[in-house]
Amino acid sequence: MFEDYPLWVRLLQAGYQSANCDEILLLMRTPADMYKRRGGTAYTKNMLEFYWWMYKEGWSSIVDFGTGALPYTVIYILQNGVRKGV
């Protein structure tokens, strides 16, 4: 979980540059029930560890942690039916 994000942070910390491009590089289908895999205590724990890691690495601030991780925490711990509505 969250494997790609630390990769991008490390690349940017190492001085690599990134940019958005207008070209669509990937078409991806997601199932209608994908929200069921994006929640629960294990997912929430991994997300919080990732945000805390970014803070410890100096990549983000404690404010970023609060405004980024805490809202997701609320969503991730909701029951699936409620999270689907969100």
Residue 4: inside a domain, yes or no? no
Q: Give the residue numbers spanning the domain of 73.
A: 35-86
Q: Are 2 and 46 in contact (CB under 8 A)?
A: yes
pTM for the full predicted model? 0.74
Residue 51: inside a domain, yes or no? yes
Residue 73: inside a domain, yes or no? yes
Could you tell me how far CA 7 lies from the centroid of its own chain? 13
pLDDT single digits (tens) 63-86: 999 999 999 899 989 888 888 887
pLDDT single digits (tens) 39-63: 888 889 999 999 999 999 999 999 9
Residue 71: inside a domain, yes or no? yes
The angle subtended at Cα 11 by Cα 50 and Cα 70, nearest 5°, is: 20
Residue 85: inside a domain, yes or no? yes
